[in-house]
Amino acid sequence: MAVVNSSCMLCVWDCGIKAHVEDGKLVKTEGLPEHPVSNGYVCPRGENLPAYVYSDSRLLYPYRRKNNTLERITWDQAFDICAENLTKVKEKYGAKSLAIFCGSVGVENIEVAAFAQRFKSAYNTPNLLSVENICYRLRILARQLTFGRYVGEDYRQAECMILWGHNPDGSRKMLGDLIREKVANEKFELIVIDPKRTELAKLGLHLQIRPGTDAALALAMLNVIINEDRCDKEFVENYTKGFPELKEHIQQYTPEWAADITGIPKEDIKVVARIFAQSKAPCILQGINTLDQHRNGFQNSRLLALLQIVVGAIDKPGTWVTIPFLRMADLRLPMEEKPIGADEYPIFHSVWGRVSPYGIATLFPKAVLEGIPYPMKASIVTAANPLVTYPDSGLYRKAFEALDFRVSIDPFINETAELSDVLLPACTFLEKDSLGYVYGVVNCEPYAMLRKKVIEPLGESRPDWWIWTELAKRMGLGEYFTWTSDEEVFDFLLEPSGIKEELKNKLGVYFAEKGYYQYKTKPFPTPSKKIEIYSDTLKEYGYDPLPGYVEPAQSPISTPELYKEYPIILISGARQEEYAHSQQRNIPALRALNPEPLAEMHPATAQRYGLVDGEKVNISTKVGTVKMRLKTNENMMTGVVTVPHGWGLANVNEITNVETREPITGYPDFKAILVRVEPAS
Ligand SMILES: Nc1nc2c(c(=O)[nH]1)N[C@H]1C(S)=C(S)[C@@H](COP(=O)(O)OP(=O)(O)OC[C@H]3O[C@@H](n4cnc5c(=O)[nH]c(N)nc54)[C@H](O)[C@@H]3O)O[C@H]1N2
Ligand SMILES: Nc1nc2c(c(=O)[nH]1)N[C@H]1C(S)=C(S)[C@@H](COP(=O)(O)OP(=O)(O)OC[C@H]3O[C@@H](n4cnc5c(=O)[nH]c(N)nc54)[C@H](O)[C@@H]3O)O[C@H]1N2
Ligand code: SF4
Ligand SMILES: [Mo]
């Protein structure tokens, strides 16, 4: 029996694991107590890694689809078919007619995204359509525009924490546990802003907010803090630009005004604003996508930043701080052509000369089905399941069906792979050496870890880098893909970071110190060299330079006619500990813990619409209907229903839409849409 220290890649938290191996087989996984961030924690998915890796639904050989059945083929045949078809498409419609999709795993396993980027630029298509156009990039951009760089939440030392649209018990359990410890042992204020009274909300002050109205609350909190003279004047004067304009701007947004919009009593808004402003170390933990996937998404992120700024809670321990930057190799090659959506969403594409490699994924169906701005004819989908995880699954299905050629690279046959012409079996992270790396950006802990190989690749599955490399060679692009082993790949990726040697310690972990008060010695890297409360850049592009409030694209107020027909507000995608997105439904131990998706609603709302706890209901929008079991729950806000995403057979994205996009980044609207709920006949 051997024990390998590695890290888990089933979600972005990258927990340390001890993998027990017997006769070349993974038999057990448990937490790694010495890990500097997870400290021995693993969730049920991490505990069930043996069942994950040996699952019957693993794709272990290359396949092609012929007469609607899967035919096993060799790697050589698979690459030949891909090369022939991708070349044909390129010759007939141009390189840009190939779209490469890369999902959440591409963020968690940087090799996946890095090689997708390499291939994209070698093939010469600008169209890498990533989950970065659904998740997280929006906030990075909003903070970059405000601070010039990304700042993140130094939550461990926070004395006042606002969980703003974030329920770590489902999405980030380690943090949930830490909050419970802080509540029990420290002088610590917890505030939770959520339409659902979550278990953590019960431990602190809960503001039950109407979905999608967070900007109104934030503006009113700014109003209270500024008008009651609770700002950090010295900080604001020396390090920010645009405070006088903000002061004038927020006068219209009173707590009374916000109370009507949000459903939160005005006194509660004042109390929370004061607690936040008085704390020595206040820290807002913004939901990882909750506030982004709305019409007001970008400005929501700006507003939370402004709250931190006006009270001077920047770069101090326990607030929002600058995370030391770790540079990784950039595998992109220079490219002239812009991806789809670059003109409609120019800031998402590039700002201050920093060009993003991603197109607007929500415009993919339009490109395929309407040829706007140009036709899209082929796809390579890696580490993603857009048929379940993107808005309006029916439309995405139609778009994928309309393509001339589809390739899928995945360790499993997911719903998107089921449509593919060629399926290429990637091995899982347990079957290769790679790099565990979320360096600071998402969890604000500046560490990186070698993700050591635990077992040999199963069947004929292979590492992602190898698949891209061989495919490129077949297409005459081999000169750009010269790597020959896992080790060469991560050595290359790590080269610019300067930490290659440091990672070779016993645990394989590199952990950096956070530097505080950087602004005292280094100006903020914005055009004004200050924090930009007022953003001239946003103004130049025709967006509001100071964030305001807009109603959700669908709401009782913005679309009263629609509301008559669809009188309940739907939230989709609150996380559940057992699953990552559309994955792991095939693991029996996890399925036993969480057998089916439930639509949760307050009993009074259920009663109002004649619905009974435990019965199946149809949830409908103009886009479609999805059937789920109803669970009444006193903790829900009345008039709101919440459902999980990622369930192939009861897929909430059958009813979401691609039309109501966030106006600056093109993000989809997943969090505040109007639905009708009826008993399923
Ligand atoms: N309605 C609604 N929809 C949502 C959301 C929501 O809140 N509501 N959330 C959105 C968000 S924030 C996100 S991030 C997306 C996620 O969207 P996706 O990334 O599309 O979702 P996953 O189901 O995680 O798909 C990941 C795929 O990667 C595969 N995979 C795992 N390991 C590897 C590997 O090493 N290599 C390769 N090549 N493949 C691998 C898995 O088998 C799986 O098929 O969903 C979005 N969709
Ligand atoms: N187990 C598990 N963990 C995951 C993932 C997973 O799939 N499974 N996915 C990972 C990924 S890619 C992501 S993006 C993150 C997502 O993480 P987050 O976006 O932080 O989502 P949650 O922590 O589930 O918290 C969502 C909470 O927001 C509330 N909410 C919904 N709409 C609104 C609103 O309009 N306003 C406010 N104030 N609250 C609202 C919901 O009621 C819910 O309690 O999770 C990550 N962690
Ligand atoms: S799936 Fe669980 S164990 Fe694995 S990284 Fe995520 S939280 Fe940690
Ligand atoms: Mo995400």
The pLDDT tens digits for 371-415 are 999 999 999 999 999 999 999 999 999 999 999 999 999 999 999
For the Cβ of 235 lying below 6 angstroms from any atom of ligand 1, the answer is: no
- How many Cβ atoms from other residues are within 10 Å of residue 181's Cβ? 10
Which residue has the least CA distance to atom 2 on ligand 3?
Answer: 43
Q: How far is the CA of 195 from the centre of ligand 4 (A)?
A: 20
**Shortest-distance ligand to the CA of residue 40:** 3
pLDDT score recorded for residue 447: 81
Checking if the pLDDT of 442 tops 80, the result is no
Task: Lowest mean pLDDT of 101-115, 121-135, 159-173, 539-553, name the range.
Answer: 101-115
Q: Quote the CA–CA distance of 285 and 152 in Å, as a whole number.
A: 9
439: pLDDT strictly greater than 80:
no
Q: Is residue 282 classed as helix, strand or coil in its secondary structure?
A: strand
Tell me the CATH number at 358: 3.40.50.740
Based on the domain organization, do 361 and 290 belong to the same domain?
no
Q: How much distance in Å is there from the Cα of 167 to the middle of ligand 4?
A: 14
Please give the full DSSP string across 64-79, using - where no structure is assigned. Answer: EEETTEEEE--HHHHH
Please tell me whether residues 234 and 376 are part of one structural domain.
no
265 and 223 within one domain? yes
Q: Are residues 309 and 353 in the same domain?
A: no
pLDDT attached to residue 494: 87
Residue in 194, 205, 285, 640 to alter for ligand 2 test, most ligand atoms within 8 A of Cβ: 194
pLDDT tens profile 580-599: 999 999 999 999 999 999 99
State which H helix or E strand residue 175 sits in: helix 173-185
Q: Look up tokens 């929008």; give the residue.
A: 621
Does 466 fall in a domain? yes
Beta strand pairing call for 354-355 and 350-351: antiparallel
Average pLDDT, the chain: 95
What is the C-alpha to C-alpha distance for residues 173 and 405, in angstroms, rounded to an integer? Answer: 40
Q: How far apart are CA 599 and CA 173, in angstroms?
A: 22
Question: Which atom of ligand 2 has the smallest separation from the CA of 193?
Answer: 38
Judge if 225 and 312 occupy the same domain: yes
Say yes or no: 121 and 145 in one domain: no
Distance CA 590, CA 592 (A): 5
Q: Is 42 in the pocket of ligand 3 (CB under 6 A)?
A: yes
Query: Considering the domain boundaries, does residue 119 fall inside one?
Result: yes
Cβ atoms of 42 and 453 within 8 Å: the answer is no
* DSSP reduced 3-state for 169: helix
Query: Comparing 27-41, 132-146, 492-506, which segment has the lowest mean pLDDT?
Result: 492-506
CA of 165 to the centre of ligand 2 (A): 7
592 Cα to the center of ligand 1, angstroms:
21
The percent of residues in the chain predicted with pLDDT above 90, rounded, is 87
The answer to the question of residue 147 being in a domain is yes
Strand partners, 372: none
Q: Please give the average per-residue pLDDT across 264-290, as a whole number.
A: 97
User: Where do we find the tokens 């917890």?
Assistant: 190
> What angle, rounded to 10 degrees, do the helices at 75-93 and 464-474 form?
60
For the chain, the straight-line distance linking the first and the last C-alpha, in angstroms and rounded, comes to 55
pLDDT interval class at 214 (50, 70, 90): very high
Is there a single domain that holds both residue 181 and residue 275? yes
Q: Does 380 sit in the ligand 1 pocket, CB within 6 Å?
A: no
Are residues 504 and 528 located together in one domain of the fold?
A: no
- Do 155 and 98 lie in a common domain? no
- For range 40-60, the mean pLDDT: 96
Residues with CB under 6 A from ligand 2: 11-12, 104, 135, 164-168, 170-172, 193-196, 198, 209, 211-212, 214, 287-290, 571, 574-577, 579-581, 642, 671-672
Q: What is the CATH number of the domain that holds 601?
A: 2.40.40.20
Confidence at 438, pLDDT banded by 50, 70, 90: low
How many residues does the structure list for the chain? 681
Quick one: pLDDT at residue 512? 79
Kindly state the tokens that stand for 600: 């949760």
Residue 240 lies in a domain: yes
Q: Is the CB of 45 within 6 Å of ligand 3?
A: yes
Buried b or exposed e, range 315-327, using 16+ CB within 10 angstroms:
bbbbbbbbbeebe
Q: Are residues 203 and 115 in the same domain?
A: no
For 184, the token pair is 């029990």
Sign of CA dihedral 108, 114, 120, 124: positive
* Cβ atoms of residues 425 and 61 within 8 Å: yes
Is 24 buried (19+), middle (13-18) or exposed (0-12) by CB count in 10 A? exposed
Q: How far is the CA of 476 from the centre of ligand 1 (A)?
A: 31
Domain extent for 595 = 560-679
Task: Write the DSSP string, 101-165.
Answer: EE-HHHHHSHHHHHHHHHHHHHHT---EEEGGGTSSHHHHHHHHHHHSS-EEE-GGG-SEEEEES
Closest residue to atom 3 of ligand 2, CA basis: 171
Ligand located closest to 410 CA: 1
Does residue 76 form part of some domain? yes
- The minimum-distance atom of ligand 3 relative to the CA of 44 is 2
Residue 39 within any structural domain of the chain:
no
* Distance from residue 71's CA to the centre of ligand 2 (Å): 39
Q: Are 451 and 9 in contact (CB under 8 A)?
A: yes
How many other C-beta atoms are found inside a 10 Å radius of the C-beta of residue 335?
15
In Å, the largest CA–CA distance within the chain is 72
pLDDT of residue 440: 65
